[in-house]
Amino acid sequence: MSATPAKHRHAFIGIYTAPTGVSRNEFNGHMTKLMEGAARLPAVKNLRDLNVIYQTDDLHEHVQQLGLPSPPATALVTHGAETRDDMVKYLRDPSIVQLVHDSDHFGLQAGACAFTADLEVQVDKAAESDKRDATRPHGILIFKVPDHLTDETFHAKINSMIEALLAADVTKKHLIKHSKWIQNDDFTDEIKVWNFPQAERVVVLMLECETIESLQEILGHDHIKQVIGDARDHLGLHIDSNCFAADVVSLI
């Protein structure tokens, strides 16, 4: 199945893990306060969408059954803009930059992996549903690119896994949307003002279903386990992977 670019070409994603000693509830509280503050700033008028993705335990057993590690406490923030200028204005806005800098007290910068991305959508049945994206449960799969592989080789192999997943009957039955976030360096200089560490090489896959039970059925299916298991063994997906169920809050 061919992938199509998302409607907005300029996407920015932040993956934030809680520091040692900070519980997920405490970390989420900090993230909620941060993002509610960001949503009130005039700078967000430059964005097409702004979402916060909060981790849940609804896929904990399924992730373990896939041979993947238990995820660290994590929250994601996704941003989309219609034009490059709009994204640059947002990233460089002094009020946004200051808000990010002020969040260092709860470990935002230290646990950050943030980058601009090419956002590809391989399945999108959203037009057939009355629900907004943010009301549907999400499965988040974050895989690190192994040091011994080039980005091109890794993504070619990941794409083979994705094609096998999307071709499965259980996936066709339940999946509403599938998207892939692929790192690019379009805004490397702009992101530097946020004082984040250099982003690790990762790929982010997002699966959306109408119910958490549907997501569980997909990831618990024997064929899906085999497909992911093969990729895990060949690519080392179990190393530093971060996979979990999530609830999405749309701020704009």
The structural domains of the chain, ordered by start, are: 4-250 (3.30.70.100)
Contact 16, 103 (CB under 8 A): no
pTM for this entry = 0.91
How do residues 161-212 score in pLDDT, each as one tens digit? 999 999 999 999 999 999 999 999 888 889 999 999 999 999 999 999 999 9
First-last CA distance in the chain: 30
Q: Which residues contact 10 (CB under 8 A, 6 or more apart)?
A: 80, 81, 82, 83, 84, 86, 87, 116, 186
* Token output for 56: 């849940």
Q: Which of 182, 33, 202 is nearest to 119 (CA)?
A: 182
pLDDT at 127 over 80: no
Q: What pLDDT, in 10s, does the model give residues 223-237?
A: 999 999 999 998 888
